[in-house]
Amino acid sequence: MLQKPLKWLTLTFFICLTLNICYAGGIKKRKIKKLFKQSALFNTHFTGFALYDIDDQKTIYELNADHYFTPASNTKLFTFYTCLKMLGDSIPALRYATQGDSLFFWGTGDPSFLHSDLKGTNAYALLKNSNKKLFFCSGQYQNDVYGAGWAWDDYNDYYQAEISELPIEDNLVNIYTDADGKLQTSPSRFKQFLTLDSNYHPFRYKIKRDFLHNTLIYPAMPAPKGFRQSVPWQTSPGLTRELLEDTLHKTVEWFKKPLPADAKTIYNTNADTVYRHMLQPSDNFIAEQLLLVCSAKKFGYLNSDSVREYSVRNYLADLPDKPQWNDGSGLSRLNLFTPRSIIVLLNKILSEVKDEQLLHSMLPAGGVTGTLKSAYKTDNGQPFVWSKTGSLSNNYNQSGYVVTRKGRRLAYSFMNNNYIDSTRTIRDEMARVITYIHDNF
């Protein structure tokens, strides 16, 4: 009489035990879904989320993952992957050719040339040490100084430097007070453009560049002690030539000459170093210029539209949703990507880099580096999330990688558009969700 019930109980116990063992390391979709359903914050705006198990190669959970979002600086992940596919281990700095007693050189868009942090010096040394007459050859760049969809009224802000074929010192003039409280500039050439305007009354002390010129307007009030501001300058081949003369202490002529087929290339900086400087602080200038470097290497001219179109057609054709990709940095609100496409992109990046620790070192690390330094707490001093952030007014996103306490490797894309709460409130709620996933799975 008891044999059948005992067999049934034994079988039931075996099934339950097996399911528990199989599920112990797994992630319960319903628990992730519950996090979003119970969040009052995520129900007040447009939220998208995709979570993917890298080891099992399967999707765990999706919310609006097939919908298009404004990605902001998540766009830099597309630029990063394109560079991984098109550039080698070093960044081409200049193309050059010699003819008699003359050295002709063409820009590649290299952002590291005399960059404030990257300090690419190989190209500088080539020009500085040459005993030939120097000729800067312009005309390779085929786009505008701003990307499509950029906000015109951000022209005065450091994060929207103009794009150019041969950038110098980040294409930014640094304005600061010296020990006597007087305004100085770096490069020093821009000091001549400092202009007092008694009719300019900003809310706080601020330098305003004239929209159409490099006139740097300052108000009739004392500059605060320790004042420092970076302002994009208006680029031109003539100004580039003048700045080169200032830094090289040599005469440089401006010349128009087609790039010869046998032009040589000199390389400046390790590519991984440049990518790290783009991704961790989310540097728009580096991102935009890197697309020009890709164009210079692939096509022999500088056109970021050509690079993006080539990348979408040849490297990103297998994304589940075709990206609408309009610039390299994410400043453009015309960019539109879906979370599930970004998951595929993250897997592509991981396959391309191969060294996971190297990849993590280039991305912002939660609680440790870059734009995630204050967004997460570490787990006993160790980061568990490495992700690219993206923010514009009313938009904040994260896309990257998580390693859970049980060692599961996950990719995620978490996008929030059109909210009116503070970005910090959105960021903290996102961190709560990602930290829960790390702690519990």
- Under a CB-based contact definition with an 8 Å cutoff, are residues 216 and 173 in contact? yes
Domain 28-83+289-440 in CATH 1.10.10.10? The answer is: no
Q: Supply the pTM of this predicted model.
A: 0.92
Indicate the SS3 state at residue 290.
helix
Query: Residue 22's pLDDT is what?
Result: 37
pLDDT tens readout for residues 289-337:
999 999 999 999 999 999 999 999 999 999 999 999 999 999 999 999 9
Mean pLDDT of the chain, nearest integer: 93
Maximum distance among all alpha carbons in the chain?
107
Rounded to 10 deg, the angle between the 339-353 and 75-86 helix axes is 30
Q: Residue 262 CA to chain centroid, in angstroms?
A: 33
Residue 336 has phi, psi (to 5 degrees) of -145, 120
Closest CA to 400 of 42, 87, 27, 54: 54
Strands 252-255 vs 133-137: parallel, antiparallel or unpaired = parallel
pLDDT tens readout for residues 265-275:
999 999 999 99
**pLDDT surpasses 90 at 2:** no
- Cα–Cα distance measured from residue 108 to residue 295, given in angstroms and rounded to the nearest whole number: 8
pLDDT tens readout for residues 227-243:
999 999 999 999 999 99
- Cα–Cα distance measured from residue 140 to residue 345, given in angstroms and rounded to the nearest whole number: 30
- Cα–Cα distance measured from residue 318 to residue 300, given in angstroms and rounded to the nearest whole number: 27
**pLDDT surpasses 70 at 1:** no
Break the chain into its structural domains and give their ranges: 28-83+289-440, 168-234
